[in-house]
Amino acid sequence: MENGRDTFPFPYQPYNIQEQFMQALYSALDQGKVGIFESPTGTGKSLSLICGALSWLTDFEEKRKQESAALLHEGEAALSTVTAPSSTSSSSAGPDWITDFVQKKADRDLVSKLKDEELKRKKREERLEMIRNNVQLKYAMKRKSCEDEEAIKLLQLSKEEQTEPQGDQEDEELIIAEYESDDESKTKSRFSATEEDDDLVEEHVTKIYYCSRTHSQLAQFVHEVQKSPFSKDISLVTLGSRQNLCINDEVRRLGSSQRINDRCLEMQKNKHDKHQEEGVKRKRGPAKSVCPYNKATALQQMRDDVLGKVHDIEQMLKLGRETHSCPYYATRLSVPPAQLVVLPYQILLHEATRKAAGIQLKGQVVIIDEAHNLSDTLSCIHSAELTGAQLCRAHSQLTQYSDRYKSRLKAKNLMYIKQILFVVEGLVRVLGGKVGQNPQTQTTQTGTEVLTINNFLFKAQIDNINLFKLPRYFEKSLISRKLGGFVEKYAGSGVSLHTQNSIKENRRTEGLNRYLQTLQSNPTPGSSADQQGSEAEKVLSASPMMQVEGFFMALTNSNTDGRVVVQRQGTVSESSVKFLLLNPAVHFAQVLEQSRAVIIAGGTMQPVSDFKQELLFSAGVGEERITEFSCGHVIPPENILPLVLCRGPSGQELDYTFQSRDTPRMMDETGRILSNICNVVPGGVVCFFPSYEYSRRIVSHWEASGALSRLANRKKIFQEPKKANQVEQVLSEFSRCIQRCAADPGRLTGALLFSVVGGKMSEGINFSDDLGRCVVMVGMPYPNIKSPELQEKMSYLDKYLPHNGGKSPGQALIENQCMKAVNQSIGRAIRHRGDYSSIVLCDRRYARPATLSKLPEWIKERTSTHTTFGPAFAALRKFFLEKKQKQV
C-alpha cells in the first residue's frame, strides 16, 4: 500500500480537497495514527470518510491475504525439503534429528494456522456471496418465518388465558441469588443466554467503527454508504438501543427505555430458565413469558440479511417484522463478521456499554465524527448525580425489601445490603439530613462545597467501606433489578415506596443514560414551569437504586481525577451530591491504546490545542502518533463575508462584557445594528445571543422601546422555543415565511430568528441558502466563571497541564469553550458549494488576534475587522447587491 493511494472509488468526480482528505486519511489508518480531521459542512466529509477508510480496509485485507499466501507457500516448501544429514555435529548442540524435528514442527504449526485462517476467510466470503445471491435460500427462510407466525399468535392467546397465581410463590424472582464470591468470573454476555445462541457467535474480522452523536446523523451516514461504490461489497451493521430497535409491541408499549430494557431482560432470563428446566418438573405458577422474536433460527436469518445488504435502522425494523426476528439482538450478533459498524459514540466511549454491545477494539479502526464536544461528552457520561429525595427513597425501598425477605436472603447478601444502606445514610448525612424522615421537610443550610473523593468519603464517614466491592456486588447480584421489580409490584399495596420504579440493563451506565436523555430534551434556564415539572417527573420515575449504583461506581475513580460537589439547597430533598470527572483522558485512553488507529473528525474542530492536550497527551499519546488535517471550503471566496464590528451605527463601542451588556445604550445599539442588517439582507437572518436570560432581557427591552416593532416591519420575528419538541414547528414556519416572501416580495423581506449559543438551534440545524443569508453573533458566549464545577476544572488543568503562550490552561479552557460554541453557531450557514452568506461578529473582543486565530481557517482568512460601522455596512450592502445582480 506504501502508506498511500493515488485514486479512490467515488460516486462522482471528487473535489481536490476531498482527494487530499482521503489520501491523508488512508495514510493515517495505514500508519496507525491518531488523526484530527477538520472538513467544513458542505465539503462532502461523510463520503470522503467512507471512500477513504473503506479503500484502506479493502487494500489491507488484500495485502494480508497475499502475505498469508506467501507465508503458506514458504512453509509448505520448507516442509517438502529433506534436510541432508550433517557429517559433523557440535558437542554443545543437540543431535541434528532433534533440531530438524523442532523446526519441522514449527513449520507445520504455521502452515496449519495459515490454512485454518484461509479456510475461515473463504467460508466467510462464500457465505456472504450466498446471502447476497441465493434468492431461493431467502425465500425458504421467509416461508419458515411465516409458518412461525401462527405459533406466535397461539402463544399470545395462551398468555391471555393464564390466571394469576395465589400466595407468595412468584416472589421467588425478586429474591437475590446467593452471592458466592467477590472474585467470581464475569457474567456471560447478555445476548448469548442459551447454548443455541453460541453457535451464532463468530470471531471478529478487521473492521471500522464509525461513531457519531445522534441516530439521525448515523442514518445520514448509512445513506451515504448506500450511495457509495462500496454499497454492494461492504458488510455494515447499525447499533442502537432497545427503544430504537424493539419490534415487540407488548414491550414497546411500556414507553420508557428503562421499562423496555427491564422487560426484555426478564424475557431473556425466562428463556434461559426454560432451557434449564427442560426435562425437570416445573413448579406450579404461571408460564413465564418469553419473547417470540428471540429465536436462534430467526436471529441467524436476520443477521445474514443485515450482513448481505446495507440497511438503516428503519429498514432493519421492517426486516425484523418480516422475519419475526429481534433487530436488537440480531445486530449485536452481526458485529463480529461486520466490516463497518455504525453506532452512537456514547456506546463506544463507555466501557461497560461497549462490552455489553460485544464491541472489541483490539486492532480495529475507530472513526469519531462530529467530535467537537468529545471532551465534554466523556466527562458527562462518566459523571453521576444524586438528589436527597432519591437517596431517601432508595434507602426506604431497600430497607423495606430487606425486612420483607430477611428470612429468605443469604447472610452475605444481608451483609452487603447493610453496607449499601450505611453508605446511603452517610450521603444523606453530608446533605444535612437523616434517613427515615421526610426529605422535603428537613431543612439544611444553603451552600456549595467541592471535595476530593477521599475527603468526601471521610466527611460522609464511609471511608471504612470497600467501594470497589459494592459495584461488583451490584453487578453480580442484580440487586437494582430485583429492587425495581419489588417496587413496581408492591407500590400502592400498603408498602410506602413513594414512586414506582423500573430498571435499566447496564447497571453501570447511569451517567450515559442521563446524557442520552439530554440529547432528546435539554432543559434550559428559560424553561416553563410545566416543562420543569415534567423533567422532575422523569427524574422521579427513574430507579433511584440505579443512580445510587452509578454514583458508587463514579467514586471508584482516582482521587485526583474527579471531585464531589455537595450542593445544599434549603431542603434535603432539593440538595444533591454530584461526581464531576475532571480527567476524561483516563477513560478515552482505553480506546486509544486498544485501537489500531483513531480518527477524530468534525466540521469545526478549532481550536484543537486544548483538545490535544486534554484528551491525547494526557492519555499518553505521543506527538509522533498524532496527525492533523484541515481543509478549506469548496465555496469560492466571494461567497462569504465575515465581519467583525467594534462599534455600532451611533458610534457606541460594542462591549458585551457582563458589566456592560445590560445597559440600555448597549441594548439600543444592538437593536440599531439588527435593524440596519435587516434592511439590506434578503431572506433569513439568524441572531445568536450568549444566553437564554440575556435573550429574554434584550427582547423585553426592545418591546418597551419600540425597536422590536421596527424590526418586525422588515422581517417576521421568530424565537427559539423553550420546548425541544417545538423546534421542528418553529423551523418549518420560519422556512415557509422566507419562501412566501421570496415568491411575493412585499413589505417583509424575510424572517429574523432569535436563537441562543449552545441551545437547540446552534448545532445540527441546517440554515442553508435563503434560510441563513446572515448569521449575527451578539457578544462572546463565555461559560459562567462562577460555576463551582468550572472553577474546579480550571484549577485541575492549571495544576496538571503545562502553561503555554503566557496563559494558564484554565484560562485557555474558557476561551476555547467560548470559541468552539461560536464556531458551531456560525457554521449553521454555508451548507453547499453554491451557498453564500455573511457572518457579523458583534463585539470588539473578536478583533483580538488570539481570538481571530481560533476561527476556522476558511472563515478567518476572509474576515475583515471594522472599527466603525459605516464601512462594514457598505461592504454588507455591496455583497448582497452583487449576489442579486448575478441572479438576474
The CA distance from 879 to 274, in Å, is 73
Q: What is the pLDDT of residue 833?
A: 80
Q: Which set of grid coordinates corresponds to residue 829? A: 450557514
The CA distance from 341 to 366, in Å, is 10
Average pLDDT along the chain, 888 residues, taken 10 residues at a time = 72 89 94 91 86 94 80 66 48 58 66 69 67 54 52 50 45 66 43 42 83 85 92 91 89 80 78 57 59 87 88 90 91 92 90 88 93 88 91 89 85 89 94 88 90 93 88 79 71 44 40 48 40 42 74 91 92 93 92 94 80 88 92 84 94 91 93 94 92 93 93 91 83 90 80 88 75 92 89 91 82 90 85 87 94 89 93 94 79
SS3 per residue for 728-780: HHHHHHHHHHHHHHHHCCCCCCEEEEEEECCCCCCCCCCCCHHHHCEEEEECC
- 725 Cβ contact list (under 8 Å, min separation 6): 521
Cβ count near 593 (within 10 Å): 13
Cβ count near 724 (within 10 Å): 16
Q: Which set of grid coordinates corresponds to residue 596? A: 489500531
Contact call for residues 448 and 478 (beta carbons, < 8 A):
no
CATH 3.40.1830.10 is held by the domain 640-782+829-887:
no
- 146 Cβ contact list (under 8 Å, min separation 6): none
Helix, strand, coil % in the chain, rounded to nearest 5: 55, 10, 35
The burial class, CB within 10 Å (0-12 / 13-18 / 19+), for 512 is buried
The CA distance from 209 to 238, in Å, is 10
Could you tell me the CA-to-CA distances from 624 to 28, 33, 34, 53, 805 in Å, in that order? 12, 9, 9, 21, 22
**φ, ψ (nearest 5 deg) of residue 826:** -75, -15
The CA distance from 833 to 464, in Å, is 63
User: Amino acid identity, residue 357?
Assistant: A
Q: How many CA atoms lie within 13 A of 791 on its CB side?
A: 10
SS3 per residue for 481-538: HHHHHHHHHHECCCECCCCCCCCCCCCCCHHHHHHHHHHHCCCCCCCCHHHHHHHHHH
Rg of the Cα trace of the chain? 31
The CA distance from 352 to 590, in Å, is 12
**For the chain, how far is it from start to end, CA to CA, in angstroms?**
51
The CA distance from 469 to 572, in Å, is 28
Closest CA relative to residue 843, chosen from 824, 861, 820, 818:
818
Residue 841: strand pairing partners: 644, 777
Chain center to CA of 79:
52
The burial class, CB within 10 Å (0-12 / 13-18 / 19+), for 161 is exposed
Into which CATH architecture does domain 384-490+543-583 fall?
Answer: Orthogonal Bundle (1.10)
User: Amino acid identity, residue 553?
Assistant: M
User: Amino acid identity, residue 452?
Assistant: T
Residue 602: strand pairing partners: 38
The CA distance from 824 to 430, in Å, is 40
Q: Which set of grid coordinates corresponds to residue 707? A: 425597536
With both helix axes pointing from N to C terminus, report the angle between 411-430 and 479-490 in degrees, rounded to the nearest 10: 80
Q: Which set of grid coordinates corresponds to residue 82? A: 529433506
Could you tell me the CA-to-CA distances from 243 to 187, 200, 305, 321 in Å, in that order? 24, 24, 21, 15
What is the full DSSP assignment across 229-274?
Answer: TTTTT--EEE---HHHH---HHHHTT-SHHHHHHHHHHHHHHHHHH
The CA distance from 470 to 472, in Å, is 5
DSSP character at residue 205: P
CA dihedral over 753, 758, 762, 765, signed as positive or negative: negative
The CA distance from 777 to 769, in Å, is 19
User: Amino acid identity, residue 480?
Assistant: S
Q: What is the pLDDT of residue 498?
A: 45
Contact call for residues 454 and 557 (beta carbons, < 8 A):
no
pTM of the model: 0.81
**φ, ψ (nearest 5 deg) of residue 491:** -60, 130
The CA distance from 417 to 428, in Å, is 17
Which 3 state secondary structure label does DSSP give 644? strand
Contact call for residues 605 and 802 (beta carbons, < 8 A):
no
Residue 447: strand pairing partners: 568
The CA distance from 844 to 779, in Å, is 9
User: Amino acid identity, residue 859?
Assistant: I
CA angle 780, 641, 42 (to 5 degrees): 90
Chain center to CA of 515:
8
677-694 per-residue burial string, b: 16 or more CB within 10 A, e: under 16: bbebbbbbbbbbbbbbeb
The CA distance from 793 to 810, in Å, is 7
Cross-sheet strand order for the sheet of 208-212: 236-238, 340-344, 208-212, 365-368, 597-602, 34-38, 626-630
Return left, alpha or beta for 756; rule: phi > 0 is left, psi -120 to 50 is alpha, else beta. Answer: beta
* Residue that is written with C-alpha cell 450482513 in the block: 307
Closest CA relative to residue 567, chosen from 584, 551, 558, 579:
579
What residue spans define the domains of the chain? 384-490+543-583, 640-782+829-887
The CA distance from 556 to 99, in Å, is 53
Which 3 state secondary structure label does DSSP give 822? helix
Closest CA relative to residue 200, chosen from 129, 127, 145:
127
